[in-house]
Structures are given as C-alpha cells and as structure tokens.
Structure 1
Amino acid sequence: MKMFCAGQWQDTKQSINVTNPFDQSVIDTVPQGSGEDIQNAVGVLERGAQIMKSMTAYDRSVILQKAAELMLERQDDLARTISLEVGKILGEGQVEASRSADVIRLSGEEARRMTGEMIPLEGNAGGKNKLGFTLRVPCGIVAAITPFNFPLNLVCHKVGPAIAAGNAILIKPASDTPLSALKLTEILLEAGLPPEAIACVTGPGGEIGRAICTDTRIRKISFTGSYEVGTKICEMAGMKRVTMELGSNSPVVIMDDADLEKAATAITMAGYANAGQVCISAQRILTSSKVKTDFVDLLKSKVDVLQTGNQLEEGTKIGPMVRESDASRVEQWVNEAVSQGARLITGGQRQGAIYAPTILDDTTPDMQVVKDEIFGPAVALSYFDDIDEAVRLANDTTYGLSAGIFTQDIDRAMKFARQVESGNIHINWSSQWRADAMPYGGLKHSGTGKEGPKYAIHEMSEEKMVVMHLAD
C-alpha cells in the first residue's frame, strides 16, 4: 500500500515489508517515510486544519458516521488485515474491527455535543453586569503515534476524536502493523474527509517521531506505547499538549471469598488474549494463601487447553507474538524467574514467534516478570494473607493503568477501589476490560490524560474564556 502524505497517495524509493508473524510471509509493502515527508505532510495539514475549523460539528459528525458505516461493510477485510499483520486470532480481529467502527460512530455523536459552559461571574466581587462563558476550539494539527497491538482500534481512538473536535490529523502507525491505519485513511477519505485534513505516514519511528515532536506546527501529540518512548516524546515535545497511554503490569487480586471459577475464567482470557500483548493484560495474580492450591489447579486446567498456532485457523486460541524477538524476550524472563526460585506450572516453551501460555508460581516482587511489563502470554502468581497486604502488593509498582479484585465483600472491594493506585479499577473481573466510551487512562508511569471519545475530544481541543462586559 502507498502512504497518504501531503494530500495524495505516495510511494518512496525505499519500502518496508509487512509480514505475517506466524510464517514471516510478506503480506504487503509500505513506503519508508522520512522526516522530510512529515514536513511536507504538515504543510498541507495546516490548510486542512483551517478547513476543519470552519466545518460545522454537524458536518464532521456526518463524515464520521459515514466512515463507521463503511467500516462495518468492510469488517471482514479489516479483521483479516488485523489478524495477518498482528498475529492475533481471527475472532479477536473481528472484535477489534467491530469496536473500531463503534469508536468512530461514538466520535461522530460526541462531535455534536462539544460545548463550553456558563461561568457565574456575578457571584464574584466586581462581577456585576458580567456574563461569562467558555468556548472549546480545535488544537489545529493532532499527531497520533500508535502501537502494533491494536492497529485499528487504538488508531480510531485518536483519529475519531481529533476529527470530531475539528482538527487535522497526522497518523504515524507502528512499522510492524501499518496496513489497518492505511485502510482507515482510505475509508475516511471516501466518507468525505477533506484530503488536506489527514495524513498517514509510514516508516521508522525514530526519525519520523523526532520530526513530529519538534515541528512547532503540530499542537497536540497522542501516543500509545512504552514508558521509555513516551518519556522521550515528552522531552522533545516542549509546549505541545500530550496524551500518554503507556505500559502496565496489571495486578488482579483473588480474595479467599472469591468466585474461583469466575476468576480463573477471566484471567485465562485477560492473561493470554492477543498472546498477552495488551497493555491491561492480567500479569500479577495476587492470590489469598487460603485458596492457593484450589485456584492454581483451576487456572492450570483452563490454560492447558489453549491451543497455539496459525492465527487464521479455526481452533487456534493464541497466535504468534508480533516478532520472534519478543517471544524470545518472554522466554528469557520466564527462565530467569525459574532460576530465581519461581515454579513453572505450565507452558514455558517457544517455537519461533509462538510462546506457549505460561503460569509461574511463587514469584517475588524483585523478579522481572513481576516488576516490569512482560507483554506476553505469561502470568505470575504470588500470595498474601489479608486485604491490606494485597493492596500493598498491588501498589508495589511504578505503573498504574488497570487493576482487578475478586471478592464478595463490599468493604474489601471499596478499600481496593479507594486505595489501589490505578486509573481503572474492576470489581469481580480482571484488569482487562474496556468500554470504548469510558474514560481510559493511567496513573504514575502509565501515562497522562484520558481516552474515550468524549474525553479525548476534551484533550484535543482548547478552552477559551469569554467575558461580556454589559451596560447597566
């Protein structure tokens, strides 16, 4: 596929192969863009930002609604593209394609509800005959730097709100998985988005990322990825507005009164979906020592039947990781934990980019599989004696994106909700659950700002205060 830059589809002299992680077959090629391409794209996007600013909220909404309809018509193609370039199973690709259309639809709805507020100035000294209200206005040009693991949905969570708020949008998709974003760009153009108002530039993240961060014409950056890269973006971005959706090592607490069947089922889904390559994957499974044996046996029985293999074949539950090097890293971390005293309950084998679903028992906070983000199909079990210890262990991390607890005790549940340092808290479910309309974002090193169309529109617009000084 070509990239869309400076209002037209373009090739470059050099290209990048997009491969199927399962067998390394080449799916397609995309251009290897550069910092100069970013400069050219932004030059046209400046005009696009003025076009979008003058467009009514109704017209922006119509474009997004039409795009959502086209996405649903092409859901099968989008799902297959997602599965091919990421390695997630086709069923998960279908879910992502459907959710992505819903995010664009929600963004269109929220475009019509973008509003300011009245400020009661007469309640202040000197406020007589003063009428105050705020206006929300577009940022101008929004840059979306997106990850590989949800190459359509997480793009939509940035692109939809940016358009709804009246901005022009520059997309930098992950180099491993650029095809879904390019197909979304095609759909948005077909739906009526002005070609000056969108660009999708493919290529190496380092050079293109620097060009985005240092271009003063770009007002807003929305990034999803690692803490390390997010920190570098913030350092380079200067006075730009930023939204950072970063990593996690999500804790899930299993209390002694938990529904163990429900907990084991939820963690089997949350620990291994998309081969564990989800920022809110269940990773640290903190379990009451009173139910240790029962819970481990139940979880193992569910994980053992997860079939790995070709993500496009029926019956496969876990496909390959996006790169063999990532599967090798997970293998190294698991082996290191075992050498430090952890017990391998199941899994632990790698075949190319496929890593078997793994359970580690008796892990400790100093092990890398616990303290860092594993981003792979493995969970780490450890134990506690009471709710206070569970909360302490849950908070023993620099991250704070999502956390869950299983308990029938409302007081324990509310203590967990109030005291655990996490942007998303789930009661009687695992860490991995997200409704696309909800405010979504992390605390601590897990980032700043919120996603979800309503909340992202706020992040991608700016507030102006208007004071009318009225005559007596």
Structure 2
Amino acid sequence: GIKEKVGLRKVTLELGSNAALIVEPSTPIDKIISRCVGGAFNFAGQVCISLQRIYVHASIIDEFTKAFVAETEKLVVGDPLDINTDVSAMINPKEVERICQWIEEAKSQGAVVATGGTFTERTLTPTVMTNVTADMKVVCQETFAPIVSIVSYETLDDAIRLVNESELGLNAGIYTNVLPDALRAADEIQAGAVIINDIPTFRIDNMPYGGVKMSGYGREGIKWAIEEMTDMKFITMKKSF
C-alpha cells in the first residue's frame, strides 16, 4: 500500500525476515551456543533478524540440540525491571495467542517442543522446536517471538537450499572453519547480508542493512540510508571549446 502511494518518490521497505543459521561440523559447539541462544531469545525474539531457523549438520545435531536446550533452560522469564530477567513480555497478548496457535499447529503436524512452549497472557517461555518441516508457520513465516527451530541436514548444498526455500531474505549466517564453504555460502545464500562465523542477528549501524525477496528492498545504515534517498547528478565540463 505504501509503495503504491509513493509513486516515483524513493522508498526503502524493510518487511521482516525469518533469519537462518547454518552450523557446519567444523564448528566448536561449546563456543557458539551462548551466542546462538542470545540471538534467538533476546528481546523475546521480537527483532526482525532474531535467529529463527538453525540448520545443523546431521553429525553434530544431537550434541548441538542438547547444548542449546540446556543453555535455553537457564534463561529467566519475568519482570523486565528485574535485573535477573533474561526474557520478558511480548508486545501484546494477541501476539502471545498467535504464536501459541502456531506452536500447537506445528505439534499437530508432528513437531516436537524440546523445551519451553508454556505461556501466560503476556509471556512465552523460550521455545525450541525439533522435527519441524519447511511448510510449518514456525519455520516459513516470521515468528517474531521467543521460538527457534533446529533442523538437520546432510550436505552444505542441502543447508543452502533449505535457507533459500524461504520467501524472505534479510540476514542469514553460517558457522564454518572451511573458507571455501564460507565463500560459497556467501555467494549462494539469498539474503541481504550473510554473516560468517556469527549469528544472523548481528547488525551495526554502519553496515548496509536490508533484504531481498519479500524482505523488501533498499538499505538502511547511516551512509547507505542517505545514498538510498539521494538523487545522483552527473556533471561534465570540457576544458576548451
């Protein structure tokens, strides 16, 4: 609707994401778990680039899932004014109701809640889901809630394909110690940013921030936002007639 109204005027649209992360078998799991849990559950998952989908190589998925669940269960849900609170209220009760419906729908289709999934009127405990499929809402749509899905894959080609199956493409990430694989993922993943050896939730203001596909177009970030809204004028002059 906004794009239709602006006509030829410049517009940048950031339309959301369901940020994905690939974890390759060369990754030292103990060094990334805390970072991954934070990327999934900070601000109760209510960030456009919150970590929502984690694709883990089949050889390490059991170890990764066990460690991720254990770290998640350390999080404290409670009053945002309490210094000990890690995860607090979602933006409104209707959003809690929506995500709980999505969880129940996924469970009815075979998904498993590894931890979490309990809620009050305003909160959802940090939730980890396994045995999910690509067509479940918790996977293919933007959850914007404290929930993450862990999915197994066999080859890097499979992982890249799974990341790209989404109609959204804002930020994505990959953990790997194999440089050619990192570069191939950077080339082939369809996203506005590919974060190598960190979570897709990473963002600083001086980087170009924006998506592809249904995540929108244009780039935010101080320099890039100015360029997006600037009309370039080319001027040339001959020194003599």
For residue 347 of structure 1, what is the aligned residue in structure 2?
A: 116
Residue 320 in structure 1 maps to residue 89 in structure 2: yes
Distance 1:377 1:439 in 2: 26
Pair 293,239 (structure 1): closer, same or farther in 2 beyond 3 Å: same
Residue 405 in structure 1 maps to residue 169 in structure 2: no
Does the 8 Å contact 2:11/2:229 carry over to 1? Answer: no
Q: What's the secondary structure of 1:293's corresponding residue? A: helix
Q: Which runs of 5+ in 2 are unaligned?
A: none
Does the 8 Å contact 1:254/1:263 carry over to 2? Answer: no
Mapping for residues 66-215 of structure 1, pairs under 5 Å: none
Distance 1:421 1:456 in 2: 21
Cα RMSD (Å) of the superposition?
A: 1.1
For residue 250 of structure 1, what is the aligned residue in structure 2?
A: 19
Name the TM-score, length of structure 1 as normaliser: 0.50
For residue 262 of structure 1, what is the aligned residue in structure 2?
A: 31
For residue 66 of structure 2, what is the aligned residue in structure 1?
A: 297
Q: Which has the higher helix share?
A: 1
Percent of residue pairs identical: 36
Structure with greater Cα Rg: 1
Mapping for residues 407-426 of structure 1, pairs under 5 Å: 407-426=176-195
- Larger RCO (CA under 8 A, 6+ residues apart): 2
Letter in 1 for 2:138: V
Does the 8 Å contact 2:20/2:163 carry over to 1? Answer: yes
Distance 1:352 1:267 in 2: 27
- Deviation at residue 470 of structure 1 after TM alignment: 4.5
Name the TM-score, length of structure 2 as normaliser: 0.97
For residue 76 of structure 2, what is the aligned residue in structure 1?
A: 307
For residue 238 of structure 1, what is the aligned residue in structure 2?
A: 7
Letter in 2 for 1:344: V
Distance 2:237 2:177 in 1: 55
For residue 452 of structure 1, what is the aligned residue in structure 2?
A: 221
Distance 1:413 1:466 in 2: 41
Letter in 2 for 1:389: D
Does the 8 Å contact 2:12/2:228 carry over to 1? Answer: yes
Distance 2:7 2:31 in 1: 46
For residue 374 of structure 1, what is the aligned residue in structure 2?
A: 143
Q: Which runs of 5+ in 1 are unaligned?
A: 1-231
For residue 7 of structure 1, what is the aligned residue in structure 2?
A: none
- Deviation at residue 263 of structure 1 after TM alignment: 2.8
Mapping for residues 319-338 of structure 1, pairs under 5 Å: 319-338=88-107
- Deviation at residue 466 of structure 1 after TM alignment: 2.3
Distance 2:155 2:230 in 1: 45
Letter in 2 for 1:451: E
Over residues 20-59 of structure 1, what are the superposed CA-to-partner deviations in whole Å (9 max), with x where a residue is unaligned?
xxxxxxxxxxxxxxxxxxxxxxxxxxxxxxxxxxxxxxxx
Letter in 1 for 2:92: R
Aligned residues: 241
Distance 1:410 1:470 in 2: 50
- Deviation at residue 468 of structure 1 after TM alignment: 2.9
